[in-house]
Amino acid sequence: MVIFCIPCLILVLYFAVLGIFFPRYRGYIREGWRCFLDKIKGRKCSASFDNKMRLAFSMWLAERNMKRLGKFFYNERNFKWTFITIGVVTTVLFCLLIIFLVYPPCTPDVCTI
């Protein structure tokens, strides 16, 4: 299923932004991209990047006394659907931003808002 490669893509984009400022996250980009391509091809993720990040994220939450949230994200289905939702919402907001920049609602004389 192609829809389940969205969590890997979101994680790759997240680590790509972090990789600009923190070099220690640059290795995750390659690993996440490999996982994304494997899922698009219909194979099981050889790097198991999304599972690795799911476990790391739930442990991070549990260490910071957010145990219920950590248990929620420990469930693989919850983790995937949360990241799919984040991916879709981010894409829609990005498209709306592009439309707003290309066709601004306000001209120097008239504002249509």
pTM: 0.72
Using alpha carbons, select from 59, 84, 77, 81 the residue that is nearest to residue 69: 59
Rounded CA gap, 79 and 48, in Å? 14
Give the model's pLDDT for residue 64.
94
113 pLDDT more than 90? no
Q: Which two tokens stand for residue 33?
A: 């991209």
pLDDT digits over 12-48, tens only? Answer: 888 888 889 999 888 888 888 888 788 778 777 665 7
pLDDT digits over 43-53, tens only? Answer: 776 657 778 88
Q: Are 5 and 84 in contact (CB under 8 A)?
A: no
Give the model's pLDDT for residue 75.
93
- Report the DSSP beta bridge partners of residue 111: 106
Band (61; pLDDT cuts 50, 70, 90): very high
Using alpha carbons, select from 2, 4, 28, 1 the residue that is nearest to residue 79: 4
